Amino acid sequence: MSLLLPQTEGIPVPRPSLHSRQYWEGCRRHQLLYQRCAACSFRGLGAFTVCARCHASAPLWEESTGHGSLYSWTVVWRPPDPAFRVPYAPAVIRLDEGFSMLSAVIGCEPEALQEDLRLAVEFHPVSDEVTLPYFRPL
Amino acid sequence: MTGRSPHPFRGVAIAGVCNTVQARALPDHDSTSIALVGALGALDDAGIAPHEVDGVVGTDCAQIALELGLGPCTRRPSSLGIPALLDAAALITTGQCDVVLVAAGGAGVHSDRASTAPWTRPANELVVGYGLFTAAEFALMARRHMLTYGTTPEQMATAAAVIRTNGHLNPDAVYSGRGPFSPADILASRMIADPFHLLDCATTSEGGCAIVVTKAERAGARQAPVWILGGASDAFGPAYVVAPVWDFQPRADSFPAGLVGARAAGIAFAMAGLAPGDVDVAELYDPFSFEIIRQLEAFGFCGPGEGGPFVEDGNIGPAGALPVTTDGGTMSFSHPGINAQQLQRVIRATQQLRGSCASCQVDGAEVALCSNGGSGALFCDVLLLGRERP
């Protein structure tokens, strides 16, 4: 048995930056926010201020349903920092709103991971300031 | 020759190269001091005195200029690896310099052995909390290739076994004499980030190296010059900042991030007037076994999805159709940080074209390709070198 679990306090935590602040504040409220270009609906891989496709400014922040499909994953047994509890499963999730993000799958065995596995977001705090979105099989 | 413009790098030669001793640890050195050993070694190899250097390229160029007393000299502080070589060549073709030194070293950087090497785990906000590091980044790309094309762990292990056995045979490799390796040996090593076992991954080590690039007339004092036939770089974004997504494709009319390097290879081959079939040896950058399979496809040595079978069929061994990473690469020869090991692909290609390799020499090699970076890092550089002046 090696159930995939969220990490706990003590891991290296993200430091929110100027343009990603809303994303991390959303996570603390258990809302998964993403950016969409107001002009062409482009969705990026991270926070952006200019649309990478049509170069319009002022992208919108919108709330995702938090439902998506497993696009790619790995199962880590040797962590970069000993604070991480292994195994854990970093993954690229394709959200139903058409954007992709990095997260980790929890709540199943590594053997259950497969392409297009349906997932739902779940939030876990890793420090007083930072809450991370994880994904659990539906 | 009417109507045909000369090759852009016709006036530029690789005149000298040097790898210092490479080891798991070099306790008497820091990164600068071992880079200086490499710099002096490459200048000696070229038969050029240090005071003749009038340009230094690379992230540590200012420090190297200071330590070797080269001021005033030209600096290019922004590039590493193959882009540093191309910058050095451009300094010469534009008449800014006659003798350019590209030097790099890594020592005393990886001291916390409970963690992976610091350059493998940049703490960027969207990835750090998920324990991402280079092995996981490249694994996320490898998984997509497995799902799309049926690429297998055995095929990846075959690439690792070939490169590690090349290193076993290389007297200068950190892991010299540690093999030979079979694919089963790779698969039997402990899992790091599925599908990568320990022996699918680059090692970490310490060492320095340098390359001297000169005006064509200045080369040849001690070694036959080696020529730059073509080179270019591809990037999709900064390494290890966003999710490594194979089909991330910002340009609707181009190709996805999973094929990073395909454009660079196309430019390099066009500049050289050559095709993949003309390459005698490929000194591919080997951070992880999968990346060999991916680069073979991206550079056009085989079709999409054919990289696994290409490796499995024995093509990349020292006696195969396309010998790959003949010094043992970052898996076995050395991996001393974020810079030197990229230049070392160029050094090995130069040694192959000189015919001076102590192991895995490809007889009569005329054209060598080298690469840097890879899919998980969202960048990939390609350089073509030749024995014949373009």
B149 with B308: CB under 8 angstroms? yes
What average pLDDT does the structure give for chain A?
Answer: 95
Helical (H) or strand (E) element with B129: none
Q: Can you tell me the ipTM of this complex?
A: 0.97
Interface of B with A in 248-287 (CB under 8 A): 248, 250
Q: HEC states along A55-103?
A: CCECCEEEECCCEEEEEEECCECCCCCCCCCCCEEEEEEEECCCCEEEE
Q: B358 by DSSP, 3-state: which?
A: coil
pTM here is 0.97
B160 with B330: CB under 8 angstroms? no
CA distance B253 to chain A (A): 12
The answer to whether residue B195 neighbours chain A at the CB level (below 8 Å) is yes
CA angle at B13 for the pair B10 and B15, rounded to the nearest 5°: 165
Q: pLDDT digits over A35-67, tens only?
A: 999 999 999 888 899 999 999 999 999 999 999
pLDDT of residue B5: 86
A21 with A124: CB under 8 angstroms? no
Tell me, rounded to whole angstroms, the distance of Cα B321 from its chain centroid: 20
Q: pLDDT digits over B113-158, tens only?
A: 788 888 888 789 999 999 999 999 999 999 999 999 999 999 999 9
Are B136 and A52 in contact (CB < 8 Å)?
A: no
pLDDT of residue A56: 95
| Low-confidence residues of chain B: pLDDT under 50 | 1
pLDDT of residue B91: 97
Question: Residue A70 pairs with which residues in a beta bridge?
Answer: A93
Residue of A nearest to B201 (CA): A78
CA distance linking residue B360 with residue B170, whole number of Å:
8
Are A80 and B198 in contact (CB < 8 Å)?
A: no
